Structure 1
Amino acid sequence: MPKTAHVDSWYAASANQNLEFPTLAGDARADVCIVGGGYTGLSSALHLRERGYSVILLEANRVGWGASGRNGGHVGTGQRSDQATLEKLVGLEDAKALWQLGLEAVDTVCELIARHRIDCELKTGNLHVAAKAKEVDDFREEVEHLHSVYDYPQVSFVGRAELAEMTSGQGFHCGVLDKGARHLHPLNFALGLARAASDAGAQIYEDSRAQSWQEGQQVRVKTASGEVRADYLLLACNGYLENLAPRAAGRIMPINNFMLATQPLDDALARRLIRDDVSMSDSLFVINYWKLSADNRLLFGGGENYSRKFPADIPSFVRKYMLRVYPELHDTRIDYGWGGTLAITMNRMPDFSRLSQNVFCAQGFSGHGVPTATLAGKLMAEAVAGSAERFDVMARVPTHTFPGGTLLRWPGLVAGMLFYSLRDKLG
């Protein structure tokens, strides 16, 4: 039976290894069963094996098939919400703990890449740009706040004149440059994690969708062709959780985001778009994000929808967002366009939870998944080993069930997103 193919993207076309794992057949036993073969699940598997636990990972398709193999590749510092918002939400002490965990998340990604020699185009820096003139003071105050309260000197304010030297992007009023951020090739990072976890002894099964699970002193997870019995269950499905865990599903909303890859650009044009080869993102509610690939393609993410279907012509769907930023690319060929499903929460902070004594879940990374999901795997491994303090710092951040639960959350989300999209357009 042929394996599920990766989506047709530039990432799949430039994948540097072709991993294949068997399908689960029959009954199996492990200390820990992980459902989901993205960053969270793969990081969990690797960190658990380093602690000596036997691990079985079940992936419904291919490892890295979901958002972990399709995203923008940004490895940002901090959390998805800014620190001022977090201070109001959880207090200064926990906000500082969350900031440190955000820095550790980036360090964890870099450390795993170095230790396991993962070839994934790791680069340095992110430039976040203000799409509205009224945000200039907010950007400047954020930099000063991170300097004075968080002792983080790696961010700097970029005024409009300097910004014009750093990018030919249109419509921006200032920026914040974060030299502590990173960016990478997301699918090759996921494949590298899978290789490292497998080499460490984790049993990985592809085309092995978890259909149901039964909790108890020993958890039982069923697939179409087998069953896993384990002492612990880690749910690492994010936007693909669906009905597997109704108690957790209502706290996330799956949404679809889209990307394109241009033809390779000449060096002069590439440097004009992004002089210092950093990743970039804007401040719109429906965010645009972009970077250059190793072969000088512009990888641009823009636009999203809230149905179960992708646009029929994804390159054209995303191209209009790209041209608002870079009208000079009007005649540039688009070689790839693809979409992926991620999960957001109501306040855009990740949802960490313990569904029972031996069942953990981490989800809702809200577009900040490369570092946060990788760290989530590390923290869940710590919790399984009996040290849940750091997992609990994340779990204490309040995330709420969407109004209407899983049945009625879509109409409310669509109405809300349309409101914020209109506000973006009106400035």
Structure 2
Amino acid sequence: MHSEHIGSFYSAQLGDRRIHPELVGGFHSQIGIVGGGFAGLTAGIELLKRGRSVVLLEAERIGWGASGRNGGFVSAGFAEGMDAIEAAVGLEDAKKLYKLSQEGVSYVRRTLEGEGAATLIEGHGWLKVQRHKGADALKRRQEKMATHYGVDLDFWETDQLKSKLKTDRYFHGLHNPEPFHMDPLAYAEILLEKFLRLGGIVHEETRVLSLKRNGASWRINTAHGCVSCEHVVLATSAYGVLNQTYYPVDRTMQPVATYVIASEVLGERLRGAVDFGGCVADTRRAGDYYRTVEGGERLLWGGRITTRRSEPKRLAELLKAQILQIYPQLGDFRVDFAWSGLMGYSRTKMPLIGELKPGLWAVTAFGGHGLSTTAMGGEVVAKGIAEGDDTWRLFNAFGPVWAGGSIGRLAVQAEYIRLQALDRFEEARSGRAG
């Protein structure tokens, strides 16, 4: 029985391709990668380019987890804010980390262009919009990003914002022209094709049962086979936690769910409400994020972050109601696709990247900000393995730290509820933009 991708807008665009068979028997490779998302594929590609042999094991399908289910936003930065990163490592190292994340954005863009798939980029720019009055916080962010990180953000007043987003719910915004958005599952397939072309070996539907140190090498054990290798790269994220892939890494993450829907084709009705082709997200602590797809014909909308692992029975109705609060002029519309995905968050909200033990590497826990940082992390780990580069040590301050297990999950959910209450209070106090 073959694993199938979740029924999403992305999987509906995916053509048929062959399944790479489960690992059966014993093999040797210089590198064994566990996890077939962006991080594992990128690390594998960069190692193959450096002359290493690589076997990649994926428990389901390539891009099956968060890599193939997310909102498709490609932007610099991390799940954690830069203020907190500066407090943890100091300004100079924070600058280095942000620059790495920018390089991750460039990596994705170069890959698309190099693979003849630049048309996969569906729109440019990112609007961060505010749903309450008071522009001081946005202007402070604008100034800090310019002075500390060399990023020029444009401040949008209410009238400018309303000319693009036809709603009275937003007061101010910051526009960043650098990010872009794309179909993430299609990108995973592009990475897979490149990995295979470079000589990598892939086994799907191959769940890792254990990792064992075997002298100077490692042994990856699966249900019907094993891989002996000099280095193991763990790139599993939230679904690895559920599968109990490797406890010392799994314990550092909390699986956090987010939900996404895609509307029916709305055409002019949508363009009359959202006249912006880039990424949109609000500044709330647990906010909405959305973009138009298919040339502005459909709306793809995400939100409702929670630590619950079950999909709400009324997911489509819940998100549709949120959309109509912002854009009531859309009227009643059909939701053609609704799906959920799990993100792997560490307690620090920063990725876990680096060598955990001799020959055992992690590149995981990207939270809700993985499209650029997985590219960066995969390349950083590959350079660490193949070249002895120590850039990965910039992440030493962020883990691994136990995420608290089930108690931690309850604490995270309680914090989300508190933050959502603060959001509602600020919006009620502000009223609506005139």
Q: In the alignment, which residue of structure 2 is the partner of 1:163?
A: 161
Query: Which moved further from structure 2: 236-245 or 92-101?
Result: 236-245
Cα shift at 1:169? 3.7
**Other-structure match for 1:13:** 12
Find the residue that maps to 2:121 and give its secondary structure: coil
Please give the alpha-carbon distance, in whole angstroms, between the structure 2 residues aligned to 1:286 and 1:324.
16
CA distance in 2, matches of 1:61, 1:84: 37
Contact 1:166 1:272 in 2 (8 A): no
Check conservation: 1:349, 1:399, Cα contact below 8 A.
no
Q: In the alignment, which residue of structure 2 is the partner of 1:97?
A: 96
Q: Give 1:294 shift.
A: 2.0
Please say if 1:291 is aligned against 2:326.
Answer: no
Q: Tell me if structure 2 keeps the 8 A contact 1:290–1:301.
A: yes
Give the drift of 1:370: 0.7
* Alignment-mate amino acid for residue 56 of structure 1: V
Cα distance, 1:29 vs structure 2: 1.0
Identity value in percent: 26
Q: Which amino acid aligns with 1:106?
A: V
Alignment partners' CA distance in 1, 2:336 and 2:265: 9
In 2: Cα distance, 1:46 partner to 1:260 partner: 32
CA deviation vs aligned residue, 1:7-53 (integer Å, no higher than 9, x gap):
01111001256352121111111110000000001111111111111
SS in structure 1 of the partner of residue 104 of structure 2: helix
TM-score by length of 2: 0.93
Query: Residue 27 of structure 1 contacts residue 226 of structure 1 at CA under 8 Å; is this kept in 2?
Result: yes
TM-score, length of structure 1 as denominator length:
0.94
The whole-number CA distance in structure 1 between the counterparts of 2:200 and 2:284 is: 41
Describe the superposition over 1:274-322 as per-residue Cα deviations: whole angstroms up to 9, x where unpaired: 3230110111111210001125210000113323311123212322222
Alignment of 1:244-263 (within 5 A): 244-263=245-264
**Can you list the C-alpha shifts for 1:214-242, whole angstroms capped at 9, x where unaligned?**
12421111111110111000000111122
Unaligned runs of 5+ in 1: none
Aligned to 1:342: 343
- Structure 1 residues 82 and 413, CA, compared in 2 at 3 Å: closer, same or farther? closer
Query: Helix, strand or coil for the counterpart of 1:77?
Result: coil
Provide the C-alpha distance between the structure 2 equivalents of 1:261 and 1:412, rounded to a whole number of angstroms. 31
**Counterpart amino acid of 1:41?**
G
- Aligned length, in residue pairs: 421
Aligned 8 A contact 1:121 1:294 in 2: no
Displacement of 1:329 in angstroms is 2.4
- What is the alpha-carbon distance in structure 2 between the residues aligned to residue 140 and residue 114 of structure 1? 34
Structure 1 counterpart of 2:277:
277
The structure 1 residue matched to 2:187, chosen from 165, 189, 212, is 189
The equivalent of 1:83 in structure 2 is 82
Higher alpha-carbon deviation: 284-293 or 140-149? 140-149
The answer (yes or no) to whether the contact 2:181–2:279 under 8 Å persists in 1 is yes
State the SS of the aligned residue for 1:355. Answer: strand
* d(CA) in 1 for partners of 2:149, 2:229: 41
Quickly say closer, same or farther: Cα 1:83–1:416, change in 2 above 3 A: closer
Note the aligned Cα RMSD (angstroms): 1.7
SS of match in other structure, 1:40: helix
Preserved CA contact (<8 Å) 1:9 1:336: yes
Amino acid at match of 2:180: R
* Residue of structure 2 in register with 1:48 after alignment: 47
